[in-house]
Amino acid sequence: MSDTAPTTHAAARPPTGRPRRAVRSAALAGSALLVTLGVALAPGAGAIAGDDRVERSGSCSGPGAARWDLKVKTDDGGLEVEGEVDSNRSGQTWRWVIRRNGERVAGGVATTTGPSGSFSVERRTGDAAGPDRIVFRATRGDSGQVCRGSLTF
């Protein structure tokens, strides 16, 4: 016979069902949070439920510290495309073009303005069946800087 009392696991069990429920509730809340974060952080996820906006951004090549943003969302059966370049220098002239599935949708010349030294262009285009490849490209001839963003919507 042993001099020690038999071990029980009663100390590891909660005295009532309440702490067990609290742990279960915390686990469910944590799972719900992870699912929510997964949806919110998924590529192309909109900030608002039902928002189908897809956004991409990046750095431009060449000298300077310009950055580009490309945003696409549905709009009245078509697509709304927005391209932006932010160089932090006002007065720069850029040539830009937007393409959908390889075809030119719009293009032009824009000048950076305001304290942020940026320009933004917004155009609407058709929405073909299946995925659409959208490309926004802006070049600054005097510096050789190129900004190019693309996404599939």
Tens digit of each residue's pLDDT (9 = 90 or more) over 24-71: 444 444 444 444 434 334 444 344 445 689 999 999 998 877 999 999
Relative to beta strand 133-140, strand 54-59 is: unpaired
Residue 84 has pLDDT above 80, yes or no: yes
Q: What pLDDT, on a 0 to 100 scale, did the predictor assign at position 50? A: 56
Q: Give how far Cα 34 sits from Cα of 24, 28, 41, 117, Å.
A: 15, 10, 10, 38
> Could you read off the pLDDT of 8-26 as tens digits, one per residue?
444 444 444 444 444 444 4
pLDDT in tens, 102-151: 999 999 999 999 989 999 999 999 888 899 999 999 999 888 899 999 99
| Whether the Cβ atoms of residue 153 and residue 54 lie closer than 8 Å to each other | yes
* CA count, 13 A, side-chain hemisphere, 22: 6
At residue 64, the pLDDT reads 79
| Strands across the sheet containing 103-111 | 103-111, 93-100, 133-140, 145-152
Q: Which CATH architecture has domain 54-152?
A: Sandwich (2.60)
